[in-house]
Amino acid sequence: MQAEQRSNKIAINCLSILQYYLISLAQSVNLSLLYMYRHISKVRVRYGETDQMGYCYYGNYAQYYEVGRVEALRDLGFSYKSLEESGIMLPVLEYSIKYLKPAYYDDEITIKTMIKEVPGARIRFEYELSNEKGELINVGTVILVFVLKETMRPCKAPRELIEHVQKCIEA
């Protein structure tokens, strides 16, 4: 009987510890990540994009990010072409990437493009690329600046784009 009571006390202590860790974990989750715009695109690694080892050449990921960015904007109702025709350019201000695993010839890559904040004069895109097995192969960020074509000076993002992104983030 005494051994059984000790066993019950140990189980209760273990449950208390587990409950503490679960509460701590829940508090550490960044809830702002739940409020963002997400778009999924897919590309396939072509033979000409690989090196002698069969790895996708590292410089190609900037183009994959561009595919994700262009399609995300298109999904929001905007195209680079229409922005440029309206006199707004979007040069890259910052580009960063962290390589986790290589992509190989003929892999289908999923590009997850995210906008986590409403754009002002800048727009920040975050990326997660994964392979067909669902393995994360790299993560990155690209920040672009809205620039008036005539003056080449920064300007605010188009009102419609701000409103679209805001609706998506708040949804």
Q: Do 86 and 112 sit in the same domain of this protein?
A: yes
**Scanning the structure block, which residue is given the tokens 């829940």?**
26
Q: What is the mean pLDDT of residues 120-130?
A: 97
Question: What is the secondary structure of 35-72 as a DSSP string?
Answer: S-EEEEEEEE--GGGB-TTSBBPTTHHHHHHHHHHHHH
pLDDT in tens, 62-108: 999 999 999 999 999 998 899 999 999 999 999 999 999 999 999 99
Q: Do 15 and 82 sit in the same domain of this protein?
A: no
Boundaries of domain holding 18: 1-31
Q: Do 16 and 47 sit in the same domain of this protein?
A: no
Number of domains in the chain: 2
Query: In the beta sheet, which residues pair with residue 43?
Result: 109
Q: Do 86 and 161 sit in the same domain of this protein?
A: yes
Q: Do 81 and 152 sit in the same domain of this protein?
A: yes
Whole-number Cα distances in Å, 165 to 16, 38, 64, 104, 115 = 42, 10, 22, 34, 8
* Predicted local distance difference test score (pLDDT) of residue 1: 58
* Predicted local distance difference test score (pLDDT) of residue 33: 47
Whether the predicted model's global pTM rises above the 0.85 cut: no
Q: Do 96 and 140 sit in the same domain of this protein?
A: yes
Q: Do 60 and 99 sit in the same domain of this protein?
A: yes
CATH of the domain at 40: 3.10.129.10
Q: Do 50 and 7 sit in the same domain of this protein?
A: no
* Predicted local distance difference test score (pLDDT) of residue 36: 87
* Predicted local distance difference test score (pLDDT) of residue 168: 85
pLDDT in tens, 11-53: 555 545 545 554 554 444 444 445 689 999 999 999 999 999 9
pLDDT in tens, 161-171: 999 899 888 76
Q: Do 91 and 143 sit in the same domain of this protein?
A: yes
